[in-house]
Structure 1
Amino acid sequence: MELRPVDGREVTAAPDSVAYEPRELDRGATFYVAGHRGLVGSAIVRKLEASGFANVVGKSSAELDLKNRDAVFAYMAEIRPKYLVLAAAKVGGILANSTYPVDFLSENLRIQSNVLDAALANDVERVAFLGSSCIYPKFAEQPIREDSLLTGHLEPTNDAYAIAKIAGILNVQAVRRQYGLPWISAMPTNLYGPNDNFSPKGSHVLPALIRRYDEAAKTGSAAVTNWGTGTPRREFLHSDDMADAVLHLLEHYDGPEQVNVGTGSDVTIREIAETIAGVVGFEGETEWDTTKPDGTPQKLLDVSKLAEAGWTSKITLEEGLERTVAWYRDHAESIRQ
């Protein structure tokens, strides 16, 4: 069998399986977090530093364009990390995904292939690739199991982003098969928390609602209008919980199949809107524009595999929302507009 190198990396045999026993990571080793300033990446940095990792590194997009393959390879060769979490991605809500599918597909594919190929070329021991629950079919059986992947049609409003993330999962599995490296993938549910994108056009549903209701409360608006019917159900996980789960998986899980990361419970969009209105102090009416799309009717993850690995969510939705609203108000002048 011919084995092709990845940018100069040579191998002599393709392993039949990955022989690796998960264990506590070396706190003194270089740990690269790609996307370290984003919602998930910044939470992972906080978690790693709080857990005693002494050499956590990262570059902002202004310092390192992950779409630039040569730059990524040069940086990886310079830092030679032992561990890597790929949290960098172009992300957005229904409006952004529907409007710019080419951007979401092309940019995410380039980011993923550049970072993962560079990690392979530099013998990174443990990699955690982070995806999204949107990889699963629109009408997958609820709660969604990991083996639902590629069993049905995707939600059309974010299919380009989903395809890119599916490609990332297969990239990790291919590395395991061909090179025997113990890389893993984790698929989080809807995330929220500090450093989220609160912009009106690019945000996901929860930060969009926080901004909308907070602004309405400050201006004394009589009503807030939200997209859709409010009936779809969504599961929400605080980014600090996600970071805790990622480190736990790196130290306790090894396998080719992606692992769902969530809380195991969900609420309707109408319920989450009412909760946010209460947290920010909005006392007006909520109206629903039913001419706008709802998206997937329900996305609740089956987190049995995660529980078997020894991890469950710790931050309640109410606590997480209060913390996120407080952070948003403290950083309202500097966050992405």
Structure 2
Amino acid sequence: MNKDSKIYIAGHKGMVGSAVWRALLGLGYTNLIGRSSKELDLRNQEAVTQFYREEKPEVVVDAAARVGGILANKRDQYGFLMDNMRIQNNLIQGAQEHNVTKFIFLGSSCIYPKMAPQPLKEEYLLTGPLEPTNEGYAIAKISGVKLCQALREQHGKYFVSLMPTNLYGPNDNFDLESSHVLPAMLRKFHEAKENGNVPVTLWGSGTPLREFMHVDDMAQAVVFALENELPGYLYNVGTGVDLTIKDLALLIQKTVGHTGDIIWDSNKPNGTPRKLMDVTQLKKLGWEASIGFEVGIKETYNWFIQKQC
């Protein structure tokens, strides 16, 4: 891939897309293109086809998706399934029809079965039932993985799917109705501190185990997949290390400086008991995450505070 290769980053204003954009710019790539959702509705097949026809990107990174936490997914399974299938189907079909040479499809660790053995290996895909609370999103992403696999095997296309663990960092979604657990905690603890260190109520028991990776590490994994010819169609991307939700809460509470109580609402769902990615395959090829968790949390909190001002 040349430094002037035309690279389209779908979802370039989101957390992952913007991180990929920063990473490529930092490495000297000069021909990046992006469209906001207002400029290009990726759910509209005709609009996406016209975009491909006019812009002719050589490389596509699909970081566009409708995402949300447990509450948002549970409330609108149909919307998450339909919107994400439309987005990825249009992008993948357009890439195939307009001779895109490299396509990176980004998904999520939720594609794996709820009770799959830990850590999660790529081979566990489609070996058991999914977590019910985000089944719609997961099924959409699984279909995207399989589309990319089929194009790779049937037509020799360099279509690679990267499945990240839970991501966090700049440009994350901190809305309490639709955000994931880490940014939601950051905001809850910050607001509680600002209100006199009142107690913070969190969902579940705090016992589930989760893995988190800074979004800039994810961006570097995308760059690695673009600059190297990876032999497989599906790769996990993570740190290979997890912690309990309770320990996450304590770390965020310490980072924010909140001194009040933490109340666990056990009437709320925990979600999957554990989600740890087996990152052996990508590590064997020469890539691994490098940003320490405590450092990443501090940087993300500082970014959040700056945006609040």
Fold-level match, TM-score > 0.5? yes
Aligned partner of 2:133 in structure 1 is 157
Q: CA deviation digits over 1:214-267, x for unaligned, max 9? A: 111111132100000000000000000000011112222423431000000001
1:227 has 2:203 as partner: yes
Is the contact made by 2:159 and 2:233 (CA closer than 8 Å) also made in structure 1? no
Aligned partner of 2:4 in structure 1 is 28
Q: CA deviation digits over 1:70-103, x for unaligned, max 9? A: 1111111111111110000000000000001001
1:320 has 2:258 as partner: no
Distance 1:164 1:84 in 2: 19
Q: CA deviation digits over 1:22-57, x for unaligned, max 9? A: xxx211111000000001000000000001100111
Distance 1:187 1:253 in 2: 17
Distance 2:52 2:245 in 1: 41
Tell me how large the CA RMSD over aligned residues is.
0.9
Distance 1:268 1:332 in 2: 28
Distance 1:145 1:208 in 2: 28
1:94 has 2:70 as partner: yes
1:296 has 2:272 as partner: yes
Cα distance change, pair 311–256 in 1 and its aligned pair in 2 (3 A) = closer
Superposition pairs of residues 153-192 of structure 1, within 5 angstroms: 153-192=129-168
- Number of aligned positions between the proteins: 309
Give the TM-score normalised by structure 2: 0.98
Distance 2:286 2:219 in 1: 15
Aligned partner of 2:42 in structure 1 is 66
**2:123 corresponds to which of 140, 147, 164:** 147
Give unmatched runs, 5+ long, in structure 2: none
Is the contact made by 1:98 and 1:157 (CA closer than 8 Å) also made in structure 2? yes
1:199 has 2:175 as partner: yes
Shift of 1:174: 1.2
Distance 2:87 2:128 in 1: 26
1:41 has 2:17 as partner: yes
**1:85 corresponds to which of 45, 55, 61:** 61
Query: What's the % identity of the aligned pairs?
Result: 50
Is the contact made by 2:11 and 2:34 (CA closer than 8 Å) also made in structure 1? yes
What SS does the corresponding residue of 1:112 show, helix, strand or coil?
Answer: helix
Give unmatched runs, 5+ long, in structure 1: 1-24
Is the contact made by 1:31 and 1:56 (CA closer than 8 Å) also made in structure 2? yes
Q: Return the letter of the residue paired with 1:273.
A: A
Q: Return the letter of the residue paired with 1:294.
A: N
What SS does the corresponding residue of 2:158 show, helix, strand or coil?
Answer: coil
Deviates more, 1:291-300 or 1:244-253: 244-253
Give the TM-score normalised by structure 1: 0.90
